[in-house]
Chains A and B, each alone.
Chain A
Amino acid sequence: MALEWTVLIVDDEGPIRSSLSDFLEDDGFITIQAESAEEGLSIVKNNPEINAAVVDIRLPGEDGNAFILQAHAIRPDMKFIIYTGSTDYSLPASVRKAGVDPAQVLHKPLQDIATLTTAIRRALGETD
């Protein structure tokens, strides 16, 4: 059995957030949900056990990129998976510096969410 990882899910779309959370929990993850970047950041501050975050880019208020940079500033070892509906998204250099490589950028919708869990695990350093 794999390690118990705590993953923060930041997405303004409730169905996506909850289904993602359900799927990850089924796969053995501990999940925390946040509706916006601001909420996500407060969770990151209060829950040091979080290992990774799945972040939507287009969010009300601050966007996903801003969240990643701030969360990275608080928790440098934290890993991020960008899960966006914008097809024209390009990875900003600042975000890339925060440790996000293009393999960690996934576009909605995924035909198989297992792709996401695989990406999280790879980002957290697990080998298949």
Chain B
Amino acid sequence: MLEYSLTIRFQCVHLSVRALFRRQGVFEQALIVCEKMAFSAPQKDDGPIIKIASNMNTPRTIRLPTLLTLYLGLSMGLLSVGLLIWSYHTSHVALEQQMLSTFKQRHVIVRDGLHASMREVALHLDAMGGDRAFQQALQERDENTLLALIEAFPHNNSESALDLLFVLKEDGSIILNATSPLFGLEDLPGGLKDLSTPAQNASVLKAFHVQGKDLLACVGSVKIKDKKTGRVLGALIGGPVLNDNFGFVEMIRDKAQVMDVVLLHKGEVVAFSCQVDSGVTQTLSNMGRTSDPLELHVADGIVASYQELRVQDSDRPLKVCLSDDGIIWDRLAQAFLGKLAVMVIACALVILLNMFVFRRIISKPVNAMMEYFHAISSGREDPEFREGGIEEFNVIGQAAGDMVKSLRIADKNLVESERKFHALFDNSFQFMGLLDREGRLLETNQASLDAVGCGLEDVQGIFFWETPWWRHDAEEAQRIKECVLKAGEGVFSRIDVTSLNSLDELRYIDFSIKPIFSKDGQVSVLIPEGRDITEIRDAQQTMRNLRLLLQNILDSMPSIVVGLDAYKKITHWNRQAENHSGISAEKARGRSLGETLPEFPLLSDSVNSALETRKIVKNERVVVLTESKARYFDCTVFPLTASETYGAVVRLDEVTDRVNLEQSMVNTEKMASLGGLAAGMAHEINNPLAGMIQNAQVISNRLSTKLPQNHAAAQECGTSMEAIQQYMDKRGVLRMFASLMKSGGQAARIIDNILMFARDKASIYKPHDLNDLMDRSIKLAAADFRVKTHIDLKKIKIIRDFSEGCPPVPCDPGGMQLVFLNLIKNAAQAIADSPTARKNGVIRLKQAKEADMALIEIEDNGIGMTKDLQKRVFEPFFTTRPTGRGTGLGLSVSYFVVTQDHGGDLTLASQPGKGTVITICLPLVGKSALPIEDAGG
């Protein structure tokens, strides 16, 4: 049977309670109660210490010396007794064998004695019949003589006394019955009367049935013959009756040398040697009735055995029981008892001696060790172990000391850790508890109880799903129940649930339940845990909203916005980015820019640079070539240095439309300038040309003979038109006029062609001589200028300071010519605006090679610009001229053409009242960018 023991020791009162439990269920209940007591103790030190031992038998204690002594004594005693019994048994068996042998001899003696008696009977009868007188009397049938003779016949042996005596005639009939009347036998059985049988002259044991009872007799039969004739005269039959024949029995007793003799026939006592009612007779007669022949029986202080003798005329033999004094057995037993007593005394002495020796040798060290262990168990600090004379005990003591020390430390740690655990358990914000396997609440911490404002006693023992935490919603309670039942089957669950707190506020709980398994793999208890995640949830909701807002903001932006983490993996990907790349935000997240935006190969470098320098990196007009056209992007990388998470934001703005617009604006301005130039030229030339042609035509008219006015005028001058005609013909004047007219017509057509002039910007620039371009620009400016501004460029001194050896520069001749034209015009305008320089205006054009750049300076001594003006002068549509005079695009377009189209630089330096210097740098190798598609069309 399994036993569970539970020991509770209250340290404060030094009280130990020990309880045994036979049933596991009860034991577990008690254990839970005890644990609660332990947990609820106000101070841990005062709480009970619980020792649990299960599945063990409580031993009865005994002291070691006693045990050893007892063991030794008992074993010695047992051995001695065993030996004694064995030797007793052996002696007994030997004695028995001997007795049996004696009895066998005695029975032989008895049988021989019986036979001798019977022979004696026959002799007696023979002797009686041999007497002449008897024979005479028999012949004469003289009964009285016979009787007298029989009575007178000397009778010296009592055991062969003729209790029965019949005298038979020769025919077998009875003459005389001399039998004692006591027996009442009147006639002989048939067999005895037959005188012809050879069995005559012998004795037999024979049973007679007289008056309802068997009469045993030893019967002799002797034929009496005439000595002379040898004729059978008759027979003499007789012998002693065995029944109650004391003499016979005594004879046997005497011969066999036994104590008592009993003769039995058919279970009845025939004769015996002692008193009939004595216990011995009774015992012997019982023995004879029940037991087998020739066995030794010992009872009532006697030892007996019996033998069977055949009896004629009876189906049952005569049993002769012989008994002897059983005192030999008693003596044997007494002898052994004496030995036993001696042995017991000897054992006792040995035990006492052992006890003495053990106490001297073993008790001391054992007691020392016991004291030591008592000291340990009573909690005494660092008890001392006194070493004794037994090596093993010393080893045990040392080992126990070490063990106790380590156990003390472990215990201390355990107590400490338990205290910590309880501190944690009760002070935790988390909700914690303990359920049994079926889901009943055993324990819960303070935080959980406070949450619903109840005490432990209100919820203890209740099914967890019926507790007040889930009072608000049956559905939640059902979910909890399912979780608990699952945990009861060993499955861990974790769900989000709602709970109502004591203020009836709905709280969101991150709830989990964990099964705890015992050693045999069964679920023993369940640990439910909960964490209030309402705030976290709210914060998460807020965060989610914020994230959505951020995403919406990002999505609403026209730019492509990409957020990157510190590892340059994509974290944000707005709708424009999706639209541009065709990659959804989910797929883009976590990938690199190279994968998602391969068309911006330099973007990664920009991001690296921004992350390293922590400065904004901006690349404008990055060209992306698509199948149909080039697209332009402004790429800006903002490093995220202010936020906790390091990273970067990439913004890509498509500026294709703007770039196209700007280029078309340049073109428009160029065309406008060219158009203005052409128109100015046409006007300038057309007017004099018209005057020339018209006057030539008027001259031609007035020289013709067709007009009557001509004739009248000729007559007034004393000549005739014919004479004039002849003269002019002779001198070729008319032909000259015709040539003049023709040339005028040609000039007019050239002007027309100039007006038709329009040029597109080349996509790849060929090298051009800048000096040549500047010269042409000066000429164009001179032609254009007067018409629009009424400023005569001829009044301004233009100095050409062109250095030799400057190689041709790859450029757009139209564009650069436009730039020069604009700048010269501006210079002339500045001179015209200056009151001092108007009279002696100078424009100096300088061109030189400087390293890998071509340097061009256009300097004037005009009115100059203030600082404020200088800041604004490159702004498009900014102008100082009155409305209608100039578009305000000249400088900005020039700047644009130089910097963007040619990769050069244009700077301005000016001092008010003294003049302005514009410096242009153009790379000698041309612009190293991708070719810009012609936006002019």
* Chain A interface (Cβ < 8 Å from any Cβ of B): 13-16, 18-20, 22-23, 26, 58, 85-88, 107-113
Contacts and interface: CB of A to CB of B under 8 A. Distances in A.
Contacts of A19: 691, 694-695, 697-698
A23 B697 contact: yes
A112 B700 CA distance: 11
A20 B694 contact: yes
B207 interface: no
24 contacts: A13-B687, A13-B691, A14-B691, A16-B690, A18-B695, A20-B694, A22-B702, A23-B697, A23-B698, A23-B701, A26-B701, A26-B709, A86-B679, A86-B683, A88-B679, A109-B689, A109-B692, A110-B690, A110-B693, A111-B693, A111-B741, A111-B744, A111-B748, A113-B697
Contacts of A26: 698, 701-702, 707, 709
A16 to B, nearest CB: 4
Given A19-B695, A23-B694, A85-B687, A109 B748 contact: yes
Interface in B288-333: none
B686 interface: yes
Nearest to A14: B691
B698 A87 contact: no
B682 interface: yes
A88 B683 CA distance: 10
Contacts of B744: 109, 111
A109 B697 contact: no
Given A15-B691, A108-B690, A110-B690, A85 B683 contact: yes
A18 B695 CA distance: 8
B745 interface: yes
Contact of B679 (A13, A16, A87, A113): A87
Contact of A108 (B689, B701, B707, B741): B689
A59 B605 CA distance: 62
A1 B748 CA distance: 33
B602 to A, nearest CB: 46
Contacts of B755: 87-88
B688 interface: yes
Interface string B727-747: 000000000000001001100
Contacts of B741: 111
Contacts of A20: 694
A26 B698 CA distance: 8
A23 B682 CA distance: 23
Interface of B: 675, 678-679, 682-683, 686-695, 697-698, 701-702, 707, 709, 741, 744-745, 748, 751-752, 755
A22 B678 CA distance: 30
Given A19-B695, A26-B701, A86-B683, A109 B690 contact: yes
Nearest to A89: B679
Contact of A109 (B686, B701, B702, B709): B686
Nearest to A114: B697
Contacts of B752: 87
Most A Cβ at <10 Å: residue of B683, B748, B752: B683
For the complex of A and B, the 10 pairs showing the least CB-CB separation, nearest first, are A15-B691, A109-B690, A19-B694, A85-B686, A108-B690, A19-B695, A85-B683, A108-B686, A16-B691, A22-B698
A87 B682 contact: yes
Contacts of B678: 87
A16 B694 contact: yes
B689 A15 contact: no
A16 B687 contact: yes
A85 B682 contact: yes
B899 to A, nearest CB: 31
A58 B693 CA distance: 20
Contacts of B748: 109, 111
Most A Cβ at <10 Å: residue of B678, B686, B702, B752: B686
Contacts of A18: 695
A87 B688 CA distance: 15
Contacts of A15: 688, 691-692, 694-695
A53 to B, nearest CB: 17
A20 B697 CA distance: 10
Nearest to B707: A26
A28 to B, nearest CB: 10
A90 to B, nearest CB: 12
A89 to B, nearest CB: 9
A49 to B, nearest CB: 22
Most B Cβ at <10 Å: residue of A86, A87, A109: A109
Given A16-B694, A18-B695, 5 more contacts: A85-B687, A85-B690, A87-B682, A107-B686, A113-B694
Contacts of A16: 687, 690-691, 694
Contact of B693 (A14, A86, A109): A109
A18 to B, nearest CB: 8
A18 B741 CA distance: 18
A58 B755 CA distance: 17
Nearest to A25: B709
Nearest to B747: A109
A15 B698 CA distance: 11
A24 to B, nearest CB: 10
Contacts of A14: 691
Most A Cβ at <10 Å: residue of B678, B691, B693, B744: B691
A60 to B, nearest CB: 9
A20 B709 CA distance: 17
A35 to B, nearest CB: 14
Nearest to B676: A88
B694 to A, nearest CB: 4
A20 to B, nearest CB: 6
A19 B697 CA distance: 9
A23 B678 CA distance: 29
A108 to B, nearest CB: 4
B764 to A, nearest CB: 32
Contact of A111 (B683, B688, B745): B745
B799 to A, nearest CB: 32
A3 to B, nearest CB: 18
Nearest to A11: B687
A58 B683 CA distance: 9
B741 to A, nearest CB: 8
Nearest to B694: A19
Contacts of A23: 694, 697-698, 701
A31 to B, nearest CB: 12
Contacts of B686: 85, 87, 107-109
B175 to A, nearest CB: 213
Nearest to A15: B691
A87 B741 CA distance: 21
A109 B745 CA distance: 8
A88 B675 CA distance: 9
Contacts of A109: 686, 689-690, 692-694, 744, 748
Contacts of A111: 693, 741, 744-745, 748
A113 B702 CA distance: 14
